[in-house]
Structure 1
Amino acid sequence: MMRPLLLLLCYLGIAGSVSAQKQPVPWRIDFAGLYHPGRPGIDARREGADSLRLFVRFPAGTAPRADQHLRVMTWSSYEARRPGWQDDLGPFGQTSRGNDVTVSFCVPLAPLAAAAVLAVGSVEAIADAPEVTAWLLLTAELRRRPFVLTDSAGRPLLRRYLRTGETVRLDLDAGASAVLTLRRYPHDFSPALPPHTDPARQRPAPRTLTAASVQTLVADQPIRFAEPGLYTLQLGDAPPLGVLVQPDGFPEVTTAPELIDPLRYLTTSLEREQLERSEAPKRAVDEFWLRAAGGEQSVARVLIRDFYGRVAEANRLFTAHKPGWMTDRGLLYVVLGPPDRVERSATAERWEYLGPERAGTYTFRPKPSTFAPDYYELVRRPEYEWLWMRAVQQWRTGKNAPAPRAGR
């Protein structure tokens, strides 16, 4: 595998606001492309007293062209009618399109004081192609956190989950505390319930968590998590970073329990119990999908590929204090697929599905936490029941995989 190219820029001599031919504004932007594979990743940490260091990874083929200028733009909210502070980092200068490219640079904190949303990309991409633009929610905690997680080679992870046995390090601000406090918390959280469920039936997440264990480490040493769990990493009195540690192989699902558990979205409790009690649970899962496919193996293979592919992608996109497929957005992503249109505001994220088979609109409300600053909960409504049951039936009758059936 080719290693990503890392470009390090320290861009502290900011020239102020830069005029642009296009003035992209988030309330007009369709964010659905951010829920497809191959989107850029972004993270940040404080640098010194007055700067924020950004880390942006452009997957292969998504970086700005060599002749395009890399732009940083901010808005006071998703509803803002015009950008706030913005700056031009100059021509991107990369001609290779075959590798991931990671860029790191500094921006001043002062002009970000009134900003809530930040984007990095070419001006054209920010306006017309948000899926190849890196978007960052500028929380107060993010502005103060003095580190980001990197892999053993020093490349930023840009994700909120780790794997057991994975070695990570901290990319630190020079003035950060040398002592790292690592806390482990209980992480027995329930999967999301269907969108038509009475909200009173939802088991509320605890408002606070008590650490099950606390460990002190030297901040510049490698860290290796031996067991799954919910953790926070904290330097001094700076805001902690929450991460979920999962078994090796995550975000993919391969073991029998991992394959059976997401089927709760398509099955009855009795069916799941039979799968779990089977002497050969993986074979039982295959038989479940073969029945759904009407006995056609080619259809069953497509159903398995698509369903568990969505589970893995939901894990990449939405993992927070629990695996991504268990969250409300993960619930819809697995069963209905990526939304056709996504609108964002300060108080909601709105998913729209088009077409005769899955048409519907769903609203999520933000519920940020230490472990997930961009976590959202679905506004559940009884009128979703018919839409949901139709979507489930599509899976259970193999209609989500018509192409192999038509070729027989």
Structure 2
Amino acid sequence: MEPAVSNHPLKGRSAFVTGASRGIGAAIAVALGAAGVKVALFAKTGEPHPKLPGTLHETAKAIEEAGGEALPIVGDLRDAEAVGEAIEATAAAFGGLDFCVNNASALDISGIGELSLKKFDLIAGVNMRGTFASISAALPYLRESDHAHLLTISPPLNTNPDWFAGGPYTATKYGMTIMTLGAAQTEPGIGANCLWPKTTIATAAVEFALGGQPMLDRSRKPSIVADAALAVLARDPNAYTGNAVLVEDLLAEEGVTDLDGYAVVPGQTDFQPDIYVDLQAREVLAGEAVHRVLLLLRAVSDLLRNVVDHVCGRRGEDQRDDQRHDAPAGRARAPLAEFGTRAYDLLAARVRRGAHVPGVDPLAAVGEDPLLAWQRRDEQDHGERERHGDGEAGDDRRVRERQAPTLAVALLVLGGMEVVR
């Protein structure tokens, strides 16, 4: 057993950490233990999960191997009575409580029309009710500490409306932030702050709910959040309270600017911005599947465009001198063109809503918007027609070239919408 850091400013303190069986919670708990903090671990996973790595006892073992002291407590954060008993046991075992770290969270970024009430009850129960239960049970003990901190892993209150697409989950995460910042207003002497990473963190939630291995490769390790958490907890709670800060910004305040060691993939520079962080991204958080669908749409639409261009070109030549068919065909094609445009816009809007990345157009991931490309080509054709005097026959042919691809896109979109759905 390696001894805990003997001169760390947090040595001898006590902490209660939720969601400590894996991911960010486990990383924070182990870092606290290594710093000499006595750590109570609270989570549901006491025994190995068939699909998810980590248990409370594995985290406790890692703390003990780092020279720290751990108290694993299996429980459901939605059970307020169980939470209260766990915090009471923590204070009894450690002689008080200095830190309450609200890390546990349930994730589902579905829109309000897609999320079931049962799933909403789960995420609201863990995120909001659980955080409230933890804070309210911890406050009596924290008020007795001379270095008390509430720390919640939740985002700054970003009011960019794009983030409201995943409204139910967003409401619960923002609720965690508001409760914590509210404590900063009503609990003098207790530092109440929130931490949130700029990039995605390599956790089971990112792997299974957001983007799989490609996103994990563009993420940072949980240790970056753990290091930032220790920095917050070491600050004077009277001077540092009421903040919702990004992890990387806080580390920069601490003089830590070289973040290369936190990359999951050594040398990675193209990181995936986390949700609620307005940074440009090349892929959408709705997952790799959306990206692949868009690539497929582009490939198929290019193929259809070439086919339709060829067919319409031939028809334009065959009917160049036959004006009797042109007027009714033109009148019939206009609604179809409008329908195709609206269908395409509907698909694009649906993809963008599902992406949950404000400021990022997921269609940009596959190159130029096909409709804009056709419009640009038409403008070029118009310029050629002006220069060469093609006349009405050439104009009619180009009308077919312009509107028939739109109809092809409409047919493609009808299938594509179901794929994205």
- Fold conserved (TM > 0.5)? no
Q: Tell me: higher relative CO, structure 1 or 2? Use CA pairs within 8 A at least 6 residues apart.
A: 1
Q: Comparing both structures, which one devotes a greater share of its residues to helix?
A: 2
With the length of structure 1 as denominator, give the TM-score of the two structures.
Answer: 0.25
Greater CA radius of gyration, 1 or 2?
2
With the length of structure 2 as denominator, give the TM-score of the two structures.
Answer: 0.24
Q: Comparing both structures, which one devotes a greater share of its residues to strand?
A: 1
